[in-house]
Structure 1
Amino acid sequence: MTARVLVVYTGGTLGMVPSDQGYVPAAGLEARIRKQLADAAAILPSYDLLELDRLIDSANLLPADWQRIGQVLQQHWSDYDGFVVLHGTDTMAYTASALSYQLRGCNKPVILTGAQIPLGQPRNDAVDNLTHALLLAADARISEVCLCFRGRLLRGNRARKVNSTAFAAFDSPNALPLGRIGIDVALYGDRLMAPGTPDFAFPDSQPDAVALLMLYPGIPARLVDAALDPDQTRGLILQSYGVGNPPNADVTLMDALGEAIDRGVTVVNVSQCHQGPVNQGAYATGAELNSLGVLPGLDLTPEAAFTKLHFLLGLGCPEDIIRELMVRPLAEDCTPA
């Protein structure tokens, strides 16, 4: 295999080692990987490993880390045929979504993967996930940001972590897999994005700009007020019930949303349900959001909606452009209404 792949190690379970406090990130992963993959070397592409200076447990991920990872990929884009990003599973779906927006016009594979059990530990899933990711990163048919886990290739901005302990930890609830790896590697060409012309953008991180608010029965006004902080919040992802229904009898909540939108906050409504889109006009409660100017988030995952809004705000897009793009597919992140 003549393809060259860059493996970017950001941290996460795959490369962790045991400690008295549990698994922790550890440097020196390359030697451990080459030892573990020695038996498969004949079928794998040539690869180099780049270890970030600051390895993170993905539970500590910050929006600035998306920019840092994306810029590393951009710096090496012309030197490799594909890329593997090793990442912790807890926030991998956020990073996969963010990279799909940053790497617009992607014309090479970018495959995120990780593990539930670290490399070198008994019964680990790290070897298979890494082997599969390397093979896919060398496949010229892929031209987008994907997540590979437990033999399934998922679109990065459609993926979610759905199980905390199973090896099959990820799914894309509203989109079919892009491929499966069993005895053979099967890619579904009609589902893959066509190669684009790279137009990468890494907007400055504004960690306080976007808030995410999950509604629940009896949610207090103080939480709503905090999420819509007029000095910080420029965008809000609202996780409502069912097809996009809020408790419209909660006048304080509805007034707060309306006032925030009037002062320029972009509010996007996504469903708490695992599958299915938002349809704000199906019930009177949801229809009231339409009158306030809340945007229906279609079938965007919460991770994709959150990172997409961060990205557009970071670019400095005018409010009308943000409102247009949030409800339109970008990197095939949602299904048009």
Structure 2
Amino acid sequence: MSIQSPLLARPGAVEAAGADAGTAAHYGDPLREQRALARGEAVTDLSSRGVVTVSGPDRLSWLNTLSSQQVLSLAPGESTELLLLSVQGRIEHDAHVLDDGERAWLIVEGSEAADLAAWLESMKFMLRVEISDVSGDWAVVGSTAPVPAWADFLVWTDPWPRVGSGGHAYTETEDAAHPGYERPWYEYLIPRDGLEAAVDESGRSLAGAMAAEALRIAAWRPRLGAETDDKAIPHELDLIRTAVHLAKGCYKGQETIARVHNLGHPPRRLVFLQLDGSQHTLPAAGSPVKLGERAVGRVTSVAQHYEMGAVALALIKRSVAPDAQLVVEDEGELYAAAQELIVSPDAGAAVGRPAGLLRAPRPRS
């Protein structure tokens, strides 16, 4: 059950559904809120998210052995992203990770926190680590710009879309042209009992989950539970760039990560869709993406963007041509969909690839 945010009592608040339940979808004017959030003049209540802490002297070495990311030398205040995978390399958990020098903070989807904490507890063995699900005590608030009034709070800085050490870009887009750079993202950890006061002291207005989702989609940023399903592997979503270290030691799922990256191709690819907005409606997430009469994928996230109109992310078959004319179908309604490449159809099979092709761009400072 989701925790109800006290910010739902603010004027105009309309509760979100799905993964964001318990927070506001909007406060009466979604597009105005989205513009303010994009300009760094608003913050978004993400208190539906879960928070898990790992303390103890072995915490970083332990998380390093379990996850896709190199966190052994994570410095206090430094942010990263890690994945916990199945033996088949499928994404089971995606955590935004920050260490404060005494404990690692893992920000996850609200529905994942209890399961993640229980799984981590089962993997402790004799190591000096302590796991706590502190979702009831800590709220998460998002912003596209630092909030000076919150300088004393811990903040996770999204590495997206910078290619991290050991990471790799699965898109052919020039690094500097990636739309993710238009959406810096910060997630502040704030005590739940001080959430309202902190928002009031921030000097920022409130933007709902709809605003944050629209900016996320425009930045091509995958989200667990939206872009992922029980078959998703990191390569399909371009998550190798921020959440996987290709040269680290053994962890569950590593064989699949290495095999697809070096020898194969991901079976599906994430794509950005510009939808025909003439119907003045939006298709639902999960709607089939079709090439002619044949379903070739599904919409994973959809939103009304304040500049681009109706936009979506979708997972489609790798074999679909990048210039193919696609449509999205929702209960008999058809939406023309112009695709923009995120993950290249040629991504993967890095062994023997000519030097410079789909190489990892140099990480930005």
TM range, smaller chain? under 0.3
Which has a greater percent of helix? 1
Which has a greater percent of strand? 2
TM-score for both structures, normalised by structure 1:
0.26
TM-score for both structures, normalised by structure 2:
0.24
